[in-house]
Amino acid sequence: MQSLSGERILMRIHIGESDKADGKPLYQAIVDLLRRRGLAGATVFRAIMGFGATARVHSDRVLRLSLDLPLVIECVDTEEHINAILPDLDRMIQGGMVTLERAHVITYRPSVPGET
């Protein structure tokens, strides 16, 4: 396991739930790519409401549930790893936003089986 403590980069990828890549959900394709390329980890968050460049609101509070809720994928890793993946993400993401910010990692370790 790599040491991740210290100054790192937090990447946030904002996409829609209905976005696709190669016939599968885009969020799944992105997480698969990040894993294959050895980034430290990724988490996908599903939002209950949001809007983007089109200013069209996507919400779970309409008469029928939206089929295109906002998703955010977060990944923290070294600046080198994040920068290396950006061209691939640019090719995959048709509409959305990618942001980067500095993060100070305090702890990064797997859970120990059997301990709570």
| pLDDT tens digits, one per residue of 3-26 | 788 999 999 999 999 999 989 999
- Domain residue extents for the chain: 6-105
- d(CA 102, CA 21) in angstroms, rounded, equals 28
Q: What is the pLDDT of residues 77-101, one digit of tens each?
A: 999 999 999 999 999 999 999 999 9
Q: What is the pLDDT of residue 52?
A: 79
What's the pLDDT score for residue 115? Answer: 65
- CATH 3.20.20.70 given to domain 6-105: no
End-to-end Cα spacing for the chain: 21
